[in-house]
Structure 1
């Protein structure tokens, strides 16, 4: 391609062309090959403007693989719980914010999975969707302590204000899992969800007043309360004969193993209160207390006060009888009309003149048995107190010098095999023969 107005200084030819073979453009003579002008590297390259290295080689930024899995896990939990779409979107937003924070970027995969459940939990609580911490931990198959720790750290890190859910909302949501309407079960077994929730909430509140909830998981207690509420609303022969196992199969709910024990404990409390109803003349037992549940819950505060007062009166009467019997056994002329503590003080005062007797009384007072567990004397006490494990009494250490006698029964307890029995019998025979020879 010729360029007008240009002439080669060597041959005078005007056939000047642009040589774009290399990255640096040149103008050369087509006849003799003389280079007329050379371009510079700083000039604009052929084909467009300068593009930086990062812009020319960079690839679109992709999300981390664990972040993608975590977001997918949040969606799965939301689908299982059947939450609204805005709850799912809020949970996804919280998970992205928490995952990229320095407090959660280097934690283990188990904690990141717990973080996904905690994001769903806090989103449900903010948008008034009743979900408990135990539900999330059971879905994730993670310990509740771990989920609670991650939940607390996430709220503190993201500065989130989560509202607490009332027990009524949780029980109402739990009642909806029971297929107990007239569309699922026969008419004599069907029950309204609202009435069932109201009665179950009253039973859970009674369990809290009587210390049954102390240190217990909420799900078995809710199941026991719903079962007793269902029986007591219409205590007909069909419902009273239905066990907890059959009730769970009927309502298509997975039974919790501790629920049967919670039913027994609730019936014990109901029996204690049912005995204080004035118009009930027949003895109240766990088998007959279910029809009285409505009256007990309606008057539970008055019945609780009455039962506690009757229990205190019975304890005072037992203490008076015990004190009188102990005074009768002792010296009636000195201890009549006085309590056991007063008798002890008097004996100490009388023995003060004699050093030996005073020391003996002091030693006896020091070595008295400790007071019994207070849970046995209370009408309502936490289960950990009533069924506390007995501590082993510390046995005094015996000094062994090797000269102690070993009984035959102790020796025989160490003999296990028939061969050892034969060898032991042979040894005894040899010892007896040696003794007769001497």
Structure 2
């Protein structure tokens, strides 16, 4: 034991404080009264100093939380689904560990943490030249692309990293490489070079964007439809035109996306609208034979698009003139519109807007006053051209069970004398038949 100067016992006031290291853990003890002044000194602090938390004093390594472990596993799953290289997966795991501990993502919902895992994969792919889109990540996570984009931008700011933008050509080129239709994989009449296929598919996707087909749609079915039509149109021979999408996917060894069938139909409709403006084709083009004209349509698509829009506008104006011999003047139209708006406003004010009846009335008036403008234009977003009518809920009968029953309704439940006789005869027949069986 060694005496320590400058310390006093809080029990008796003695300064005879010694260092007792008899046990495995050192302690300071008063030699006069035996009071333990301090024990378990784990830091270079004076006696009766500040308390030290367990997390600071323990030598055990802190284990990662459950959500962090799940997030890292989710990053690995996404990387395996996309068949990424090992360096891309390792970089994504590093980014997720850094972003997870940040205050912007440590106390958020589990969905946002799962989206963060996908965004780490996305930024890693873009930095290492592996092109994928935000829509692809949203499709894998079954999340809103708007949410994915917001988390992605916030993650870039938190980690202070930069990611190059992705060119649509690179995305479609990577997608086309998944189709095993080279000369070494399929017979020569079905083979197609990846470079030519990519160029034609990119032009078809650009046409789909110009005609609003890609708006609000998932990218993979659109790219599959573009690749399929590009493959058919590059060599529009009988053996290719007879191939359905199912057979094409089996030939190319890829998994079919069901919405791609609808995207093919929509692309053919857009091609037909432009193909009808080709002078040597005209109205003879149909969805069944438009594939043969794809090359000419894509080569002159901008000029054909302008002509198609002009033709459609002229047709709409001619229809308006023919439907009305004496078209109303602008003053008459404006007065009718003002009167209509006033009537609508007065009728809506009579209904409380806080309940469902008021909301339904406003929507019905707005739908009646503003018809679907997608029917009047040549190309329109799918949400407009395929707008669904709101289902009108049938009013439920207001029945409580306490209603009075009329005499006629009571009489309908009482058997007539004939029904009573028939019922008694049936009972006797059943009783005699059951008695005979028992004997």
TM-score normalized by the length of structure 1: 0.66
Structure showing greater radius of gyration is 1
Deviations 1:117-152 (A, max 9, x none): 211211222333201223334444555455444323
Instruction: Tell me which residue corresponds to 1:375.
Output: 374
- Determine if the alignment matches structure 1 residue 292 to structure 2 residue 293: yes
Instruction: Tell me which residue corresponds to 1:208.
Output: 209
Instruction: Tell me which residue corresponds to 1:259.
Output: 260
Helix, strand or coil at the partner of 1:340:
coil
Q: 1:366 offset after TM fit, Å? A: 7.1
Cα 1:78–1:318 shift into 2, 3 Å? closer
C-alpha distance in 2 between matches for 1:241 and 1:374: 37
Instruction: Tell me which residue corresponds to 1:61.
Output: 61
Q: 1:230 offset after TM fit, Å? A: 0.9
- Determine if the alignment matches structure 1 residue 168 to structure 2 residue 156: no
C-alpha distance in 1 between matches for 2:283 and 2:321: 30
Cα 1:65–1:340 shift into 2, 3 Å? closer
- Residue range with higher mean Cα deviation, 136-145 or 227-236: 136-145
Deviations 1:170-218 (A, max 9, x none): 1111112222222322221121111111111111111111111122121
Cα 1:184–1:281 shift into 2, 3 Å? same
Helix, strand or coil at the partner of 1:93:
helix
Matches within 5 A, 1:273-422: 273-280=274-281, 283-324=284-325, 327=326, 339-341=327-329, 370=369, 372-391=371-390
Helix, strand or coil at the partner of 2:182:
coil
Q: 1:283 offset after TM fit, Å? A: 0.7
C-alpha distance in 1 between matches for 2:331 and 2:18: 116
Helix, strand or coil at the partner of 2:278:
coil
Please provide the CA RMSD for this pair. Answer: 4.2
C-alpha distance in 1 between matches for 2:22 and 2:415: 111
Instruction: Tell me which residue corresponds to 1:95.
Output: 96
Residue segments in structure 2 that go unaligned for 5+ positions in a row: 3-16, 28-39, 45-56, 345-364, 399-408, 419-439
Q: Of residues 402, 405, 412 in structure 2, which corresponds to 1:423?
A: 412
C-alpha distance in 2 between matches for 1:141 and 1:312: 40
Cα 1:124–1:340 shift into 2, 3 Å? same
Q: 1:281 offset after TM fit, Å? A: 5.5
Residue segments in structure 1 that go unaligned for 5+ positions in a row: 1-23, 26-39, 328-338, 349-358, 401-419, 430-438
Cα 1:372–1:282 shift into 2, 3 Å? closer
**Counterpart contact for 2:136–2:219, Cα < 8 Å:** no
C-alpha distance in 2 between matches for 1:214 and 1:222: 13
- Determine if the alignment matches structure 1 residue 155 to structure 2 residue 143: no
How many equivalent pairs are there?
A: 340
Instruction: Tell me which residue corresponds to 1:332.
Output: none
C-alpha distance in 2 between matches for 1:203 and 1:314: 27
TM-score normalized by the length of structure 2: 0.66
Q: 1:52 offset after TM fit, Å? A: 6.9
